[in-house]
Amino acid sequence: MSPKNTQDSSNTFKQKKKGSVSLAGKFSLIFILVLVVLAFVVAPLFSGIGNNGSGQLVFGSYGDNNIEYSQGSYFYNQVNMLNNMYRDQISQSEDLFDFYRYYIWSSAYQQSVIYAAKSWELEKSGFTLSDKGLSRLIIQSGYYNNEEGVFDETNYATATTTQRDEIKDSVEATAYLNQYNSDRLGGLYKSQAQIDSLIGTNSEERKFQYVFISAEDYPDSEVIAYGESNEALFTSYPLSRLTLATAEDAEKVIGELNDGSKTFAEAAAAYSSDMYAATGGEMGDVYRYTLIDELGEESTEAVLSLSEGSYSAEAIETDYGWYIYSMNGTGETPDFSDSTLLEAVKNWMTWNEATLIDEWIQDEAEALIASVDRADANSFTYSAARMDYTVADTDFFPLNWGSSPLVGGGLGSSQDVILQNASTSDDFFTAAFSLENTGDLSQPVILENGSLILKLVETRESESKVDDYTCRSYLQQTQDELYSTGIFQSELYEDNFSDTYYRVFPSENTEQS
């Protein structure tokens, strides 16, 4: 067997461009493609493939269990079931025909992979379903019941062999899945302490006011002060540049500049590969800090030491090619009253002096907290306003880290980006649910790009409490999802879905490629 595909399940059905099908391949698929035409053109329910013969296609495998599409197979039945489920949408959305077809087949395939994995593990464990046990399950399934809901031997006797086989396969597949889920997943231990903890997170909801102080609030006065104390970084120089692919190319161009056969502008137009070639290499005014970012300190000093009208004697090697610079004038002293320069300084500080900004944010947050009079219910709002900050309000929410659907009311679905970011912060929930009394303020909570101060406004019992049964069901569902993810990442899993799908439906692949 070829090496196993261990790609992540989220990419299992990524659509790829495929080559043309060989003549031999076309003949091998002729039966299946005829049925495809019947199923997808005459009656677009997608379920007719293999209805009248023994044709089959292998879309993947788990262990030694092939995931094949053939009459009566689990994959075949899953496709039929989903066809019926989406019948109305398909008939009303002809323009989405290809989309529904791919969605139905890929979804059926996913379920079939999980079934193949569970069946493989059961078979390895020695589990078998006796004929007597299977017969009992078929009787209990209700497929052959009469109008009174009782097994009817006449219904069984009048069923065709194909119908009986399909029902038998369906009941057997369900029995395998039920047995596996009961033994492997249903029996996983869930402590009562774990259950009680989940119930407890949903028992209380809280509402807050908050102020968020971010890097965007960093005052221009601080930016100017930093710029003035680091004036050299923000001095700009009029430069031109050539970009060459190799050292040899750069050496050749410098030779032409030296012998006067080309001017710098002519060389840029003729040889340079960057966006400045169209302007004769002219870059405009370039800040010293920009050159430092691109070239490093040593090479920057070499460029900025050029006199007006001179160019680099040697090219500078970079990740993007070999650079040759020309100095077109003298440096310009920065004017920090210019808004464009001020924004450039702030951007530089954000990337290179983040600690300075973070310290300022922390000082501001602590100053706000210190200015609030706890005895005055409105003091938080007034103090924030005096410091030019706006107080915002949250809705009621429980202690729901990560916005679990079990607990409900998660901040992850909030329209406020700040609260969305807080939804997975341990510090945020610790601060929020450690406050004891209405009006209490939290210490600053560090979030992405800023600091949050919370004021407890109100506490109430949750309107929708979670019970023991719901918690256990949720934990079971989570375990099932984790197990399914593991199947698609297993070395035992081999995925040929895209290859096989586009052999059957090549026209769709051509359109999407």
pLDDT digits (tens, 9 = 90+) for 91-121: 777 778 888 899 999 999 999 998 898 888 8
User: Into how many domains does the chain fold?
Assistant: 3
Q: Is residue 140 part of a domain?
A: yes
14: confidence class by pLDDT, cuts 50, 70, 90: very low
CATH number at residue 422: 3.10.50.40
Instruction: State whether 67 and 136 are in the same domain.
Output: yes
Q: So what's the pLDDT on residue 371?
A: 96
Domain around 435: 203-217+355-461
pLDDT at 337 > cutoff 80: yes
Instruction: State whether 25 and 132 are in the same domain.
Output: yes
Q: Is residue 258 part of a domain?
A: yes
Instruction: State whether 285 and 361 are in the same domain.
Output: no
CA 236, CA 253: separation in Å to the nearest integer? 26
Q: Is residue 378 part of a domain?
A: yes
Q: So what's the pLDDT on residue 47?
A: 39
pLDDT at 513 > cutoff 60: no
Instruction: State whether 210 and 240 are in the same domain.
Output: no
Report the amino acid identity of residue 488.
Answer: F
CA 140, CA 297: separation in Å to the nearest integer? 81
Instruction: State whether 270 and 419 are in the same domain.
Output: no
* Residue 449 CA to its chain's centroid (Å): 21
Rg (CA), the chain: 35
pLDDT at 447 > cutoff 80: yes
Q: Is residue 472 part of a domain?
A: no
pLDDT at 254 > cutoff 80: yes
Enumerate the β-bridge partners of residue 399: none
Query: Which has more pLDDT, 453 or 474?
Result: 453
CA 250, CA 289: separation in Å to the nearest integer? 25
Sign, Cα dihedral of 219, 225, 231, 233 = negative
Contact 119, 129 (CB under 8 A): no
**Which H or E run includes 205?**
strand 204-214
pLDDT, one tens digit per residue, over 338-373 is 999 999 999 999 999 999 999 999 999 999 999 999
CA 373, CA 371: separation in Å to the nearest integer? 7
Q: So what's the pLDDT on residue 212?
A: 97
Instruction: State whether 308 and 178 are in the same domain.
Output: no
456: how many CB neighbours lie within 10 A of its CB?
20
CA distances from 456 to 20, 113, 363, 387 (A): 66, 50, 22, 20
- Across 8-17, 99-108, 165-174, least confident range: 8-17
pLDDT at 384 > cutoff 80: yes
Q: Is residue 398 part of a domain?
A: yes
Q: So what's the pLDDT on residue 183?
A: 60
285: confidence class by pLDDT, cuts 50, 70, 90: very high
pLDDT, one tens digit per residue, over 116-142 is 988 888 778 777 778 888 888 888 888
Would you call 5 helix, strand, or coil by DSSP? coil
Q: Is residue 231 part of a domain?
A: no
CA 316, CA 141: separation in Å to the nearest integer? 78
Contact 50, 70 (CB under 8 A): yes
Alpha helices, H only, 46-151: 74-85, 87-92, 97-125, 131-141
Instruction: State whether 62 and 21 are in the same domain.
Output: yes
Instruction: State whether 23 and 96 are in the same domain.
Output: yes
Q: Is residue 470 part of a domain?
A: no
405: confidence class by pLDDT, cuts 50, 70, 90: low
pLDDT at 381 > cutoff 60: yes
Instruction: State whether 399 and 505 are in the same domain.
Output: no
According to DSSP, the β-strands at 236-244 and 321-327 are antiparallel
Query: Which has more pLDDT, 263 or 15?
Result: 263
Instruction: State whether 14 and 151 are in the same domain.
Output: yes
Instruction: State whether 181 and 72 are in the same domain.
Output: yes
Instruction: State whether 443 and 314 are in the same domain.
Output: no
Q: Is residue 228 part of a domain?
A: no
